[in-house]
Amino acid sequence: MRPPTPAERLRSHVDRILDRASVRGGDREDLVEELYGHLWQRWQDGMTAGLSTDAAADAAISGFGEASRLGQDMTSAYHSRLYASTIGVLLPTVLGVDDKPYGYGRARALLFLTGLFAVVGGVVYLNAQTPFRLLVGAAAIAMAFCMTVLAYRAFARGQRWALVYVQVLGIGFVAEGVLEFLLKPVTISFLGIVSIFVLMAAFDPKLGSWVSASRRTGKVLGVVIAASVLLYSVPLAVVAMPDPTQASPADLSIMVRVDCTQTGGLVTSGTVTATIRWARTDFLPYGLRPAMSQTDELGASSTSILAFDPGPNGTPFPHNLEGGVVGTTFTLVDAETRRNADAGVTMKSWSAFFDVGAFYKGIDPGTIQANHTYVASFGFISAHSGGLPDDPVFRIRYDHQGRWGVQAYATCTQPGVGQPVTTPDPPTFPAP
């Protein structure tokens, strides 16, 4: 592709000015001729003064003034101040320009997609967050989104900081995509892929020349740009933030007792009883979403789990429900009301058997009441013909929506007290 002639460069500068102005069709034609005539004469005078054709064209363009400022000033010369400061600025951005450089569309597409994903993804994701995390995450996304919108508009006006923003954003998405792929090889970041194509153009000299007339990006603005891009990662980190509106392990006490029946020195049956009490419960435990429904599947991340774990000696609990003989009783009762929480009066919960031998109950934290005592009991009969060891260890663990947990170990002779544990639940046993 041949480089533009000096006359074409002069004409291009006129177009850049008027693309940034809101001027009626007939006036535009007059202005094109008048502004081009000025640049043309300055170019001619420069050559007469001894400059080369290119240097004279450069001098004419640089002496004429910054395209975006002149465009805005021209808009205000034709319209009211209100129009000039709002619609007159927005309109050229929306309509776009004809002489877009290589990469212009890609860069703006990345900005558009970033804004779109921020709104849609933010609403979907933050909807499920607890109140404090929602506020922090939403504030971060809102600020980052505003910066993206400003960059989208500024880039159309050829402002350098917007190109720097695109570059930083693209690098950030690629880095995030690579990290995500390394952690989960089945996940490919859409914005990461898009960013690769954008970055191929974002460092191209053609885009550099698009913004060359605007001011250089200083250190302060550079820091602001980097910080605004990092704001998009806040929602990912917000899950780990402590939320003062939510209960913590310190608010939950679990006491466990095991009553055993022994035959011939071996435990053949018994009951594990956990007494559970919350001093404080979550405010909006599922964020703005409705509470967990009965159709939710066990193991959903938003579900709290109460688990009864068998001892270390093989598989003590029978799994054959169809036999209907052993190990099938489980109750969860509100001790104050004496109502069976397991029936859904005060709690929604259900049970399931797994081959690992543990017994799980899904609990809806939204239905738990503070300062009520709940009693969960699990009756068991050993599947071993000879019975269990004389003092089998049981673990009772409460896992609060995957955020934190409290667990207790107990035997026939030793009751247990719940202790805070980290999540996710390590599948390890035996008892400490």
Partner 1 sequence: MSDHAGGEHTGGEPAQRPTGVPHLSRGDFGLLILGLISRREMYGYEIVAELRATTQGAIDLPEGTVYPALRRLERDGIVEGHWVEVGAGAPRRRYYRLTLKGEHALADGREEWRQFKAAAESLLGPV
Residues contributing to the site for partner 1 (CB under 8 A): 17, 30-31, 33-38, 40-42, 63-66, 69-70, 72-74, 76-78, 81
Q: How far apart are CB 23 and partner 1 at their closest, in Å?
A: 9
For the four alpha carbons of 290, 295, 301 and 307, in that order, the dihedral sign comes to positive
State the nearest-atom distance from the C-beta of 301 to partner 1, in Å. 55
- Smallest gap, in angstroms, from Cβ of residue 65 to partner 1? 3
As measured in angstroms, the least distance from the Cβ of 72 to partner 1 is 7
Q: Which residues contact 134 (CB under 8 A, 6 or more apart)?
A: 126, 287, 288
Dihedral angle sign, alpha carbons of residues 422, 369, 253, 375: negative
Q: For residues 258 and 260, give the distance between their C-alpha atoms in angstroms, rounded to a whole number.
A: 6
User: Least Å distance between CB 113 and partner 1?
Assistant: 34
Nearer to partner 1 (CB atom), residue 13 or residue 133: 13
Residue with tokens 């960013």: 195
Query: Which residue, 66 or 342, has its beta carbon nearer to partner 1?
Result: 66
Closer residue to partner 1 (CB): 21 or 164: 21
Given the DSSP bridges, would you call strands 351-353 and 339-340 parallel, antiparallel or unpaired?
unpaired
- Residue with Cβ nearer partner 1 (6 or 389): 6
DSSP 158: T
**Which of residues 78 and 197 has its CB atom nearest to partner 1 in the complex?**
78
DSSP string, 272-311: EEEEEEESS--SSTTTTSPPPPTTPPTT-TTSEEEEEE--
Smaller CB distance to partner 1: residue 77 or 200?
Answer: 77
Q: Are 398 and 417 in contact (CB under 8 A)?
A: no
* Residue 125: CB atoms within 10 Å: 18
Coil vs helix vs strand at 330: strand
Least distance in angstroms from the C-beta of 66 to partner 1: 7
Tell me what percent of the chain is helix, strand and coil, each rounded to the nearest 5: 45, 20, 35
Residue 152 CB, shortest distance to partner 1, in Å, is 23
Contacts (Cβ under 8 Å, ≥6 apart) of 172: 195, 229, 230, 232
Query: Exposed (0-12), middle (13-18) or buried (19+): which is 33, by Cβ within 10 Å?
Result: exposed
Q: Between 97 and 194, whose beta carbon lies closer to partner 1?
A: 97
* In the complex, minimum distance from the CB of residue 171 to partner 1, in angstroms, rounded to a whole number: 34
Q: Which is nearer to partner 1, 33 or 54 (CB)?
A: 33
To the nearest whole angstrom, how small is the minimum distance from the Cβ of residue 49 to partner 1? Answer: 13
Q: What is the dihedral of CA 137, 167, 150, 25, to 10 degrees?
A: -150
Q: Where are the beta strands (DSSP E) in 351-391?
A: 351-353, 359-363, 373-381
Task: For partner 1, give the closer residue by CB, 17 or 341.
Answer: 17
Sequence-distant (≥ 6) Cβ neighbours of residue 58 within 8 angstroms: none
- Tell me the closest approach of the beta carbon of residue 7 to partner 1, in angstroms: 10
Strand-pair category, 373-381 with 266-278: antiparallel
CB of 81 to partner 1, least distance (A): 8
* Cβ nearer to partner 1, comparing 45 with 54: 45
Considering the complex, state which of residue 36 and residue 117 has its C-beta at the smaller distance from partner 1. Answer: 36
- C-alpha 109/C-alpha 118 separation (Å) is 14
Tokens of 303: 């579900």
